[in-house]
Amino acid sequence: MPSFAPHTEEEIEQMLTDLGMSSLEELYASIPSALVRTEPLSLPSDLSEIEVLEQFSRFGRDNSAVRSSLVSFAGAGAYDHDLSAAARHLGSQSAFVTAYTPYQPEVAQGVLQALFEFQTMVARLFGLPIANASLYDGAASLVEAVNMAVGFTKQRRVIVSNGVNPSYREALATFGTGTHLEIEHLDLEADDSTNFGSGSADHAGAAAVIVAYPNYFGAIEHLEEARALADSERALLIVVADPIALGLLRSPGTLGADIVVGEGQSLGIPLSFGGPYLGLFAARAEYVRLMPGRLVGETRDLEGRRSFVTTLRTREQDIRREKATSNVCTNQTLMAIQAAIHMAWLGKRGFQLLARRNYDGAHYLASRLSEIGLVPSTRNFFREFTVRTFGSATDLQHRMLQHGFLAGVVPPGLDDRLVLAVTEARTRTEIDSFVDSLAKELR
């Protein structure tokens, strides 16, 4: 491809004149010489547009994609769900795809109403009165929830279950390094549920108790025990919830959660390495002015018509920095609208049936695996569970690729375990074939 120079010689001269400098070397003088490259980059020769497209097509052919070449039994926060053609089509409307942040409600009623409906659905799903208009992803939502709890309680100690997704805990640890959090971990029982008595016995007070529902290993946690621990620590209870599971399980808000967060990828968003995904966030009404992100509200215009506006924008771009609740400067509006369309398309009954299909498929897989000696660590799971393998789980996972299966996720530091997930996209035939292939590899 022809080389591209973004600035002409005349533009560079004008820039240097405006800066009162005589050369580019003078402009770069503040950069340490050890960091300055003096020789050209070693790059391949120019390629034509057709050659570039062909090269990247070759790169793409080296990948193994879910559905086209692999049957996925992996989950751990990202799931292979079905998305109806109708929901996909409605979510791709240009009015949604090309819309910018709805700062001017008079020209953005469609986007604002769609976000209002999204918030309503998330609030009902989580069993809490207030939900925001989305955050980046599940991990970001958890970090923002902890930041909110710290701001409310003025405590810096956080108690987190080891059943929370390791990636989320890693994001929290990164946040905690800069904000001087004291992060305490709760151990897991043999059935992968949280031992809520494994923490500090002095109950010195904490900002939050954090638990996943169901957890990373698949176990459905006892939120009543988590609530009791939070009360003893005078802390807020933060629940990281799987939205699909709530089609069958009781909402965390009805079980005592103060803040509920989650990953919304399961709600009609395709699998994609690096996203975009969708952060869900809901809380009790008394915390509304501490919530991160944007909240869309319903009002009346000058003519008395039902209208929608961004009621709260407590971020550092919109209000005084020292008063801001978060430095999140955008959100996942398009993903939120896609999720709202997906949930509306399913309806309440359809959502419950979807959850049931996930549950039934996972329990069928568990029963088949038990026949070949791979017994789930718990019987109390939704669509995901953990088994111990005979030897390296990573090696087994690689061997299963040769059979056309993505065989779950190996938890960090636990190479004798596999976390397996089943969604409505998996058929009984695929499950049986997966078990047969596993049995051959385990002989």
Confidence (pTM): 0.88
For position 394, what pLDDT does the model report? 97
Supply φ then ψ for residue 84, to 5 degrees: -65, 150
pLDDT at position 3 is 62
Residue 254: CB atoms within 10 Å: 11
Given a contact cutoff of 8 angstroms between Cβ atoms, the answer to whether 241 and 261 are in contact is: yes
Identify the sign of the CA torsion 235, 240, 243, 249: negative
CATH 3.30.70.141 fits 68-84+347-442, yes or no: no
Asked if 68-84+347-442 and 86-342 have one fold, the answer is: no
Q: Is the peptide bond before 411 cis (omega within 30 degrees of 0)?
A: no
The span from the CA of 190 to the CA of 412, in Å, is 17
Say which amino acid occupies 121: M
Domain boundaries, the chain: 68-84+347-442, 86-342
Is-contact 131 280, C-beta < 8 A?
yes
- Rounded distance, CA 140 to CA 77, Å? 13
Residue-level pLDDT, tens digit, the chain, 443 residues? 456 678 899 999 999 999 999 999 999 999 998 998 888 888 888 889 999 999 999 988 888 888 878 999 999 999 999 988 999 999 999 888 888 788 888 888 999 999 999 999 999 999 999 999 999 999 999 999 999 999 999 999 999 999 999 999 999 999 999 899 999 999 999 999 999 998 877 778 999 999 999 999 999 999 999 999 999 999 999 999 999 999 999 999 999 999 999 999 999 999 988 889 999 999 999 999 999 989 999 999 999 999 999 998 766 566 677 777 776 767 789 999 999 999 999 999 999 999 999 999 999 999 999 999 999 999 999 999 999 998 999 999 999 999 999 999 999 999 999 999 999 999 999 999 999 999 999 98
Q: Nearest Cα to 162, choosing from 202, 234, 249, 221?
A: 221
E strand or H helix at 172: helix 166-179
pLDDT computed for residue 341 by the predictor: 97
What count of residues does the chain have?
443
> What pLDDT, on a 0 to 100 scale, did the predictor assign at position 100?
79
Both tokens assigned to 438: 């596993």
Please give the Cα distance from 312 to 83 (Å, whole number). Answer: 32
> CATH classification of 86-342 is 3.40.640.10, yes or no?
yes
